[in-house]
Homo-oligomer: A and B are copies of this chain.
């Protein structure tokens, strides 16, 4: 590829040429047969008796991301990761993605290739194949719509609606890192080079830009009788726990001292005079798993998790619906947990 082509404005290339220039690194593994890019639709068959699992996500400039804090590589990476996280939340094995993208004419071909390079990285890790999509110009913002497809055994699918009173509530990883990384990045007008960041900041920024979809944990939970309900944390624990409780028609009690938080996040919160608890409850974009298990499986689950070194924390218990959703800060100090995560169309948006 000549330098000229790399910096060519997208407006000087046709859609066909653009599609031809998608990096070929996206894994060619996945289920077959497929009729993919170049026809009206993609065709495939899941291995019997697997069910097809499908999810779709929008990523919109100045709503879900800004080019001030994320490169096109970062944007592509996260677009794939958040969709993989939806598969993790169902306990499914992701197999293919469809990428639709509307590009403002200011972007150059190199940006487009960076986007696909970023998108390809987590797809390659999880052997997910690019199956198709749509490409358009955009009058204004960069607009991305991803549809991910996977498969799961009919009896091994994680849903949000099975939590029962007495079940234990778990989350994977640490919460609030992504919000802290984003708070830090907001100071920049263009995305900083990772090498220029201090180690703790680099960690938080990485957690924000390159979340780890918990695909293996989701698959494990689905393959065992453990989990009664599961979802991924995208809007913040306070809001997502509300979603899970609403679908399961239950309440919940969580303990603030049990919420897992990284040292890096806690130190940075202290430095800028905010509270780590706020980020970890309401920050959003953690892409960790939130799940519940009946108490009788506690020992089995923790034994397995220890062997696989997947970080999980027990943060509370499911309660009857009338209990509401509460957080206990110390003995006898309880409050209702109000969702403050990101809500589209809400004038009270806060992140």
Binding site for B on A (CB under 8 A): 10-15, 18, 33, 35, 38-46, 48-49, 51-58, 60-64, 86-87, 89-90, 92, 98, 100-103, 105, 131-141, 143, 145, 147-150, 152, 154, 157, 159-161, 231-232, 247, 343-347
Bound complex: CA A103 to CA B346 (Å): 13
Contacts of A39 in B (CB 8 A): 90, 159-161, 231, 247
Q: Are B131 and A98 in contact (CB under 8 A)?
A: no
Q: Are B38 and A247 in contact (CB under 8 A)?
A: yes
Given known A-B contacts A40-B90, A89-B40, A55 and B132 have beta carbons under 8 A apart: yes
Distance to closest chain B CB from A264 (angstroms):
28
Distance to closest chain B CB from A222 (angstroms):
12
Bound complex: CA A57 to CA B98 (Å): 10
Contacts of A147 in B (CB 8 A): 54, 56, 98, 147
Given known A-B contacts A48-B48, A56-B98, A90-B40, A139 and B344 have beta carbons under 8 A apart: no
Copies of this chain in its oligomeric complex: 2
Specify which of A45, A61, A89, A347 lies most central, judged by the most chain B CB atoms within 10 Å of its CB.
Answer: A45
Besides A11-B345, A56-B100, 4 other A-B contacts (C-beta < 8 A)? A11-B346, A35-B159, A137-B345, A139-B140
Contacts of A148 in B (CB 8 A): 41
Bound complex: CA A134 to CA B234 (Å): 13
Q: Are B90 and A43 in contact (CB under 8 A)?
A: yes
Contacts of A15 in B (CB 8 A): 343-345
Which of chain B's residues has its CB closest to A44's CB?
B52
Contacts of A33 in B (CB 8 A): 51, 154
Q: Are A139 and B136 in contact (CB under 8 A)?
A: no
Given known A-B contacts A41-B89, A41-B92, A52-B43, A100 and B58 have beta carbons under 8 A apart: yes
Distance to closest chain B CB from A243 (angstroms):
8
Q: Are B90 and A58 in contact (CB under 8 A)?
A: no
Bound complex: CA A45 to CA B48 (Å): 10
Specify which of A10, A14, A56 lies most central, judged by the most chain B CB atoms within 10 Å of its CB.
Answer: A56
Q: Are A134 and B58 in contact (CB under 8 A)?
A: yes
Q: Are A140 and B137 in contact (CB under 8 A)?
A: no
Distance to closest chain B CB from A223 (angstroms):
16
27 contacts between A and B (CB under 8 A): A14-B344, A35-B159, A39-B247, A40-B89, A41-B86, A41-B90, A42-B53, A43-B53, A45-B52, A45-B154, A46-B52, A52-B52, A54-B98, A54-B132, A55-B132, A56-B98, A56-B133, A58-B101, A60-B136, A62-B139, A63-B138, A100-B145, A135-B344, A137-B345, A138-B141, A139-B140, A140-B141
Q: Are B57 and A134 in contact (CB under 8 A)?
A: yes
Bound complex: CA A102 to CA B64 (Å): 11
Q: Are A145 and B43 in contact (CB under 8 A)?
A: no
Q: Are B53 and A41 in contact (CB under 8 A)?
A: yes
Bound complex: CA A10 to CA B344 (Å): 9
Contacts of A11 in B (CB 8 A): 345-347
Distance to closest chain B CB from A148 (angstroms):
8
The 5 tightest CB contacts between A and B, nearest first, are A145-B145, A41-B55, A40-B89, A140-B140, A62-B139
Distance to closest chain B CB from A9 (angstroms):
8
Distance to closest chain B CB from A151 (angstroms):
10
Contacts of A54 in B (CB 8 A): 41-44, 98, 131-132, 147, 149
